[in-house]
Amino acid sequence: MDKDSRIYVAGHTGLLGSALIKKLEEKGFRNIITRTHEELDLARYDEVNVFFARNKPEYVFLAAGVTGGIVANTTSPYYYLHVNIAIQDNVFEAAHKYEVKHLIFYGSSCIYPKYSKQPIKEEYLLAGEIEETSEAYAVAKIAGIRACKAYNTQYNINRFIALVPNSMYGPNDHFDNNNSHVLSALISKFQIAKENKAEETVLWGSGNPRREFIFSEDVAEASIFAVEHSERLENKHYNVGTGIDVSIKDLAHMIAFVVEYNGKISWDLDMPDGAPRKLLNSSEFESLGWKHSVPLETGLRLAYQWFLKNNTS
């Protein structure tokens, strides 16, 4: 990408999109295109087509979509399936029609089998049953990953690049007890408990499942790296992670320490755990020269500081 290349960041106000904007601006890219949902509904192809025809973006980072935790995915599976597939299909088709140079698409670690061998390699995709609580969202993401490969194969191009980051967190995340992913939900939950001087906080499940977390700005760096080294990429998806996982129980205690919540932490064993472990093998992408830079402890403090300043939910 040149410094004046036309770069469209879809979902620029969200967790990953805002990190992409920050990193692109830090690197001196001057021609970044954004649209709010009110200005452009990516689930409507007519609007997407007009936007691409008028703006002719050369590079696209598709960070737009809908995502949520266990509660959101189990109560609204059709919503997560339909909206994400609609956005992917529309943006992919417009990117191909108007000959975008490169488009970065993002999968999710939930695409892999619930009981996958660990750490999870890219080749394990579709090798077993998906975790039921995130099935609809995962199917949408799998469709997007396969679409990237299919476009590239059929038209003999390397336009579409699929990255699969593990659980992202950071500024501009959704901090909500019911609809967020576990890390941001815990930050909100412990902050509320601290403010209410609660003597005990009850969390879902056993706390035993292990998860890998990656700071949003690290994924943004990986995305820019992928575009700048696109000629070295194969027509496949690449895992993007830290190579380090932590139990939900340990994560909870880490967040409680950052928030300075000193009450008791209990676990509701009647509630679901989700997949027992999701640790990605990111060695193929790392072999190209990329490496994450933000440790979990540092990222937690940055995320919490942003949460306090913005008091969002």
pLDDT means per 10 residues in the chain (313 residues)?
97 97 98 98 98 98 88 86 98 98 97 96 97 93 98 98 97 80 93 97 96 98 98 98 98 98 97 89 98 98 96 57
Per-residue pLDDT, 67 = 83
For the chain, give the secondary structure using H, E and C: CCCCCCEEEECCCCHHHHHHHHHHHHCCCCCEECCCCCCCCCCCHHHHHHHHHHHCCCEEEECCCCCCCHHHHHHCHHHHHHHHHHHHHHHHHHHHHCCCCEEEEECCHHHCECCCCCCECHHHCCCCCECHHHHHHHHHHHHHHHHHHHHHHHHCCCCEEEEEECEEECCCCCCCCCCCCHHHHHHHHHHHHHHCCCCEEEEECCCCCEEEEEEHHHHHHHHHHHHHCHHHCCCCEEEECCCCEEEHHHHHHHHHHHHCCCCEEEEECCCCCCCCEECECCHHHHCCCCCCCCCHHHHHHHHHHHHHHHCCC
Predicted pLDDT at 95 = 98
CATH number of 7-173+212-244+279-294: 3.40.50.720
Residue 26 has what pLDDT? 98
Question: Which residues are known to be catalytic?
Answer: 137
Write down the pLDDT at residue 71.
73
What pLDDT is stored for residue 179 in this prediction?
Answer: 63
pLDDT of residue 277: 92
Predicted pLDDT of residue 177: 66
pTM: 0.95
